[in-house]
Amino acid sequence: MRSGLGEACRRLDGRGYPAYRSLRGGWRVEPGLTLFLDRIARDPFAPPSRLRLRLDPGAAGFDPFLHATPVRRIALGDFLARRVARAAPRTRIGSGRSGEIAIASGRQEVLERSAVVLGASGLPLEPGAVEARLEVGLPAAGRRILGRRAADLLIRELPRIARAALVAANLPPGEADAFVRDVETQERLRSQLAERGLVAFIADGAILPRAHGATGRPLATEEAVPFRSPPSVRVELDLPDGGRIPGMGVPEGVTLIVGGGYHGKSTLLQALARAVAPHIPGDGRERVVTLPDAVTIRAEEGRSVASVDVSPFLRELPGGRRTERFSTRNASGSTSQAAAIMEALESGATVLLLDEDTSATNLMIRDARMQALVARDAEPIVPFLDRVRELHRRRGVSTVIVMGGSGDYFDVADTVIQLEEFHAREVTARAREVAAALPTRRAREAAPGRFDDARRTPVPASLDPSGRRGRPRIRARRRETLQYGESEVDLRAVEQLFSASQTRAAGRAVALAAADHAGLALPALLDALEDRLDRDGVDALTADGRAGRHPGRLARPRRHEIAAVLNRLRAARFTTRAEEAATGADGRCPDNPAP
């Protein structure tokens, strides 16, 4: 480990920017604090350099309780990343991105991040050590090094940030402990859902409306209506301290959320969708939890679909084209939503979340009048209405649907919740009375369908992330878009990717799967990735595979979002179980274009 970083910086004053590369490696800058310069930017206008600040256990000084379990380590790491972001100055020094200090700290969701990691038994860092991974713009005027400013940044400013944000004794008393315990409480609530026959829980007093979509922050308390459970569906869950918390339990089966426009239906569904992850204290949804395998489903016109068995929702197409292995480069709204449902089942979803506003109408419902006009034989689409109960009965998959326009779903709903000005009422009995008094007279569109595992196996060569120069190219500047090799993957419809860090990590997970888990069917491949991430953390997704050289800009996605990236990659190809039996799995996957 070298010393004398300040003098080394001053000697570079006035030299060309590439001379900064002589600083690469580890430097002891203070007792107990080491600075690693892992990757130096090529010039001050390029993405910033990647650095790590590592505090020894004695210097960090965190109570072992706070990182004794994986949940606590994730929570503390997330908390400390936010403290670093708060402590980092907003000023720049010199040209381009000079002086910029950034860390991937996230917004409302608490995620397993690579931005700050904590050592524990079996992990690369010494137990109790803390490491923050930063992006720093090394100072320059034009493309000439500002050596003295660099010395001040590296040996004064960064250690100041480390002391302010990563040393337990310097944090507000009890704040880290409260954050970790709050996240642990959320996971404790989530762990009780399945045993209680619930898919979600919304505590009384939760604030669901958001100030605006750009930040996800809660609406001001004086403007928001706190949630209160209808008495008939109120349950109480256990808290870690022995107390109990009341709220609305969303039961397994088919649940409708109904009501007029602008009364809070979609707000409630969005809260459930985002509650697959814990939230920061003060978010308003800290006591809203959903089963971890709940997946949002929506129509996504124009997306690609590869070898998906959509036959439960699309019968034989005009021209005799079959749908057991459906592929298209340009899906319609209904075919894209049908594919999304089947892909979610394949990745292990146990709950489907749908909003009529983002669904294909012709997949959701075909009423009696349309059935009378357009004969069943002339309509290949089987409405979701005729499959939703079957999904629960045969696959154990529950569904929560926001529905304001079709009362036909009253016939299949187990629970109906009505929202009026954000106040919830349970109206299941009344909905059944309406259904009995006003029968729809529609006929069921199909016999029981198959929801079997088609066992799609990705063809590894089709997942190659290499760019034109032959090097891996996986980038995500925004949550909604991933650059994968020469392809741009549109992820706007994958609503449970909460940050660009997760998008980036999902892309790397696909590349890792192709390289290290080739030949596995998709569910087994996702199992293997989860096992690896459980064992090695998000650092398993490093570009070079070496712990300690991580750029720090990743957050762990769920298996469902990894699958969503893979399924939207236009180059991706799959073999199926039937193909393998017939052809010996030659790896080819010809398209079956949709009309």
Using DSSP's 3-state secondary structure scheme, residue 64 falls into helix
Is the same domain home to 521 and 382?
A: no
Is 227 a domain residue?
A: no
Residue that is last in its domain, among 177, 205, 230: 177
| DSSP-assigned states of every residue in 564-587 | HHHHH-TT--EE-HHHHHHH---S
User: 61: left (phi > 0), else alpha (psi -120 to 50), else beta?
Assistant: left
Give the per-residue pLDDT at 550: 63
Look up residue 443 and give its DSSP letter.
P
Same structural domain, 51 and 144: yes
Residues 14 and 157 in one domain: yes
Contacts of 289 (CB under 8 A, 6+ apart): 186, 189, 190, 193, 200, 201, 275
Same domain flag for 340 and 479: no
DSSP code of 494?
A: -
Determine the pLDDT at residue 551.
73
Q: What share of the chain is helix, strand, coil (3-state, %, to 5)?
A: 35, 20, 45
Q: Taking Cα atoms as reference points, which of 57, 45, 40, 46 lies closest to residue 118?
A: 57
Buried b / exposed e along 339-353 (16+ C-beta atoms within 10 A): bbbbbbbbbbbbbbb
User: Is 106:501 a contact under the CB 8 Å cutoff?
Assistant: yes
Q: What is the 3-state secondary structure (H, E, C) of 270-339?
A: HHHHHCCCCECCCCCCCCEEECCCEEEECCCCCCCEEEECCCCCECCECCCECCCCEEECCCCHHHHHHH
Position 590 scores a pLDDT of 40
- The greatest distance separating any two alpha carbons of the chain, rounded to the nearest whole angstrom, comes to 87
List the one residue out of 465, 369, 372, 359 whose CA is nearest residue 402: 359
- Which residues are registered as beta bridge partners of 296? 353
The DSSP 8-state label assigned to residue 120 in this structure reads -
Within a domain: residue 41? yes
Q: Which residue, of 162, 177, 192, is where some domain finishes?
A: 177
Total domain count for the chain?
3
> Which helix H or strand E contains 75, and what residues bound it?
helix 70-87
Copy the structure tokens of residue 463: 């997942």
The pLDDT value recorded for residue 48 is: 94
In a domain, 223, yes or no: no
CB proximity list for 59: less than 8 A, separation 6 or greater: 31, 32, 33, 167
Residue where a domain stops, chosen among 177, 204, 236: 177
Whether residue 387 is found in the same domain as residue 481: no
- Considering the domain architecture, whether residues 432 and 464 belong to the same structural domain is answered as no
The answer to whether residues 298 and 399 belong to one domain is: yes
Q: Are residues 303 and 399 in the same domain?
A: yes
Separation of alpha carbons 161 and 90, rounded Å:
13
Tokens representing 362?
């012709």
Domain-located, residue 305: yes
Do residues 98 and 139 make contact, with C-beta atoms less than 8 angstroms apart? yes
Report how far residue 193's alpha carbon sits from residue 198's, in angstroms, rounded to the nearest whole number: 5
> What is the total residue count of the chain?
595
Domain coverage including residue 433:
294-437
524: part of which helix (H) or strand (E)?
A: helix 522-536
User: Quick check: is 470 in a domain?
Assistant: yes
Same domain, 16 and 95: yes
Task: Determine the Cα–Cα distance for residues 482 and 503; give it in Å rounded to an integer.
Answer: 7
Q: Is 516 exposed, middle or buried (0-12, 13-18, 19+ CB in 10 A)?
A: middle
> Does residue 403 sit in the same domain as residue 474?
no
What whole-number distance in Å separates Cα of residue 135 and Cα of residue 81? Answer: 13
User: For residue 469, what pLDDT is reported?
Assistant: 81
pLDDT at residue 594 in the model = 41
The rounded distance, in Å, linking the Cα atoms of 507 and 491 is 11
Regarding whether 503 and 384 lie in a shared domain, the answer is no
Which residue ranges of the chain lie beneath pLDDT 50?
544-548, 585-595
Q: Is position 163 within any domain? A: yes
Inside any domain, residue 237 = no
> For residue 494, which of 422, 425, 569 has the smallest C-alpha distance?
569
- State the pairing for strand pair 326-328/294-297: unpaired
24 belongs to a structural domain: yes
Residues 22 and 115 in one domain: yes
Residues 345, 329: Cα–Cα separation, whole Å: 21
